[in-house]
Amino acid sequence: MEHTDRAGRIAWFQEARFGMFIHWGLYSIPARGEWVRSWERISNEDYQPFFEEFNPSDYDPKAWARAAREAGMRYAVFTAKHHDGFCLFDSKLTDYKSTNTPAGRDLVREYLEAFRAEGLKVGLYFSIIDWHHPDFPHYGDRQHPERDNEAFRGVRHDFDNYLRYMHGQVEELVTGYGRIDLMWFDFSYDHMTGETWRATDLVRMIRRHQPHMIMDNRLEVSGEGFGSLLSGQPKEYAGDYVSPEQIIPPEGVLDINGKPVPWEACVTMNNHWGYTERDKFFKPAPMLIRKLVECVSKGGNLLLNVGPDARGMIPEQSLDILRQIGRWMKRNGESIYGCSPAGMDKPDFGRITRRGKTLYYHVFDNPIGYLPLSGLKPEQVESIRLLSSGAQMKIEKDWITNNYPDHVFTSFGPNPVLPDETDTVVAVRLKD
Ligand code: GLC
């Protein structure tokens, strides 16, 4: 049965918790980030050589999908079109598309087929901004590559024509590519928000074709602001979740009535979304594992980005990080999937996630002696297990713990080094 209400639609997303963001396109050739056109004020003409050259002969979406699944990711979001307006799909509404480059391939279709085959939910990133289209505002726009080019001062743009194009492309994607689970729109700013995009019409069209599809909140905002999802009276185009970017919300996200709002933190592995040759500042896998735990412990998802290069290869550093995360997820994914905040104070040593009657204590710092399972009373505990092996852990009671009768203590044994120094997970099943 298709869930078409917001709570029903979002259920798989909050089960999945961990996804792969993929930023790929012509900007992978200059290799200075996906905003290179804006940052360097590159004209369409000066950007055209990258279109003529684009031929990612090593593109192997099946390998990408395996890497995502083996990392423990349960969904992915792939750039169908970024702000530069280049379409990685065979749009009938433009010639500015991957099938017209030397690649000659519908890269979106291949991504969708490969990731579905690996059992992942599939999402598309679609930029509502388009710096290539002649009817998107140029001069005076906040970030268009020609924003301060006097040659474009006073040029008239038929924005309605642009909206017909943009809506038409979204309709191509939601009618021509099978089931899409998620649409990641990007992004609104200043007066370019909501009905300026004819957002209600856009969402209604999408719902007609794919009523189950979830959307982010960027028909209203960008990574700045949350939009009307927090207002208690969300607009029709508010989306299904909010999309904090390059940050994990300090306390999670609640609406005006204190009700938790679904959210997904999107985070780069280095400091760029699109492939950037000189950006080798990759976050260590242990750090990213703990950030995934932090997101889930606060009721959110982590959408972790890879930026494939001009040849279609995910950088080796990213693949290595994914492999390390996958090794941890293989043993401890139960403490992530379908988990949520525990409703308890954060312990000194780490974090807590919860699924039903099971609490997952994520231990980042080994305690001196016994581990205090904060927030629990002895009579509540059914069992304690080391999640990674299923081994029993006992409640410890002796002269050391007698000063703290209202606390539950357990022990990892005599070794002062944690079984997993990144995050050792203790699963505590509560009595009914
Ligand atoms: C920002 C950037 C865009 C990137 C997105 C990912 O909106 O403009 O380049 O794709 O963040 O969250």
Q: How does pLDDT run across 69-102, given as a tens digit for each residue?
A: 999 999 999 999 999 999 999 999 999 999 999 9
Å from CA of 276 to ligand 1 middle: 14
With residue 363 as reference, give the H or E element that holds it.
Answer: strand 358-363
Å from CA of 359 to ligand 1 middle: 35
Say if 250 falls within a structural domain. Answer: yes
Q: Residue 401 is part of a domain; what is its CATH number?
A: 2.60.40.1180
Categorise residue 166: left if φ over 0, alpha if ψ from -120 to 50, beta otherwise: alpha
Nearest ligand 1 atom to the CA of 83 is 9
Say if 1 falls within a structural domain. Answer: no
Å from CA of 187 to ligand 1 middle: 8
Range of the domain at 256: 6-338
Identify whether residues 168 and 252 lie together within a single domain. yes
Nearest ligand 1 atom to the CA of 125 is 10
Provide block-wise average pLDDT over 10 residues at a time, the chain (432 residues). Answer: 77 98 98 98 98 98 98 99 98 98 98 98 98 98 98 97 98 98 98 98 98 98 96 96 98 96 98 98 98 98 98 98 98 98 96 98 96 92 98 96 93 96 98 94
In whole angstroms, how far apart are CA 344 and each of 229, 365, 403? 25, 18, 22
Q: Which of 290, 311, 206 is nearest to 248 (CA)?
A: 290
> Which residues are CB-neighbours of 151 under 8 A, at least 6 positions away?
none
Q: How does pLDDT run across 48-68, given as a tens digit for each residue?
A: 999 999 999 999 999 999 999
Identify whether residues 51 and 193 lie together within a single domain. yes
Question: CA 157 to CA 134: how far, in whole Å?
Answer: 7
Give, using CA atoms, the residue closest to atom 5 of ligand 1: 186
Place of tokens 């293989």: 330
Protein residues whose CB sits closer than 6 Å to any atom of ligand 1: 23, 34-35, 186-187, 222-223, 245, 266, 273
Q: Residue 330 is part of a domain; what is its CATH number?
A: 3.20.20.80
Nearest ligand 1 atom to the CA of 243 is 12
Nearest ligand 1 atom to the CA of 187 is 7
Identify whether residues 262 and 402 lie together within a single domain. no
Identify whether residues 89 and 169 lie together within a single domain. yes
Identify whether residues 309 and 354 lie together within a single domain. no
- Last residue of a domain, which of 307, 338, 369? 338
Identify whether residues 185 and 321 lie together within a single domain. yes
Identify whether residues 295 and 381 lie together within a single domain. no
- Last residue of a domain, which of 315, 338, 361? 338
Å from CA of 410 to ligand 1 middle: 44
Say if 24 falls within a structural domain. Answer: yes
The total number of structural domains that make up the chain: 2
